Structure 1
Amino acid sequence: MSVLLNTASLNELLSLLGDELRDIARLYVDQLDSELAELDAAWTAGDWPRLHRRAHALKGSSGNLGAVALAETASRLEKAAQAGDAALVQTELAALRQLAPATVQALRDGRYVR
Structure 2
Amino acid sequence: MPPDSDIAANPVIDAVRIDDLRALLGDALDDILRTWLEDAPAGLAAARRAGQAGEPDALIKAIHGVKGSAGNVGAIELSEVSGVLERRLKRADPALDLDAELTRLDTCYTRAACHIRTLIRS
Normalising by structure 1, report the TM-score: 0.89
Shift of 1:106: 0.2
Unaligned runs of 5+ in 2: 1-6
Matches within 5 A, 1:1-114: 1=7, 2-85=10-93, 87-111=96-120, 114=122
Whichever residue aligns with residue 43 of structure 1, its letter is G
RMSD between superposed Cα atoms in Å: 1.6
Which protein has the bigger helix share?
A: 1
Q: Which runs of 4+ in 1 moved over 4 A?
A: none
- CA separation in 2, counterparts of 1:52 and 1:89? 12
Look up the SS of the partner of 2:11 in the other structure.
Answer: coil
* Stretches of structure 1 lacking an aligned partner (at least 5 in a row): none
- Conserved? CA contact 2:33–2:120, under 8 Å: no
1:96 deviates by: 0.5
**CA separation in 1, counterparts of 2:29 and 2:97?**
33
Shift of 1:88: 4.2
Deviation per CA, 1:61-94, whole angstroms, max 9, x where unpaired?
1111110000001101111221223624333212
Whole-angstrom distance in 2 between the partners of 1:104 and 1:30: 10
8 Å Cα contact 1:77/1:88 also seen in 2: no
TM-score with structure 2 length normalisation?
0.84
SS at match of 2:52: helix
How many percent of aligned residue pairs carry the same amino acid?
Answer: 28
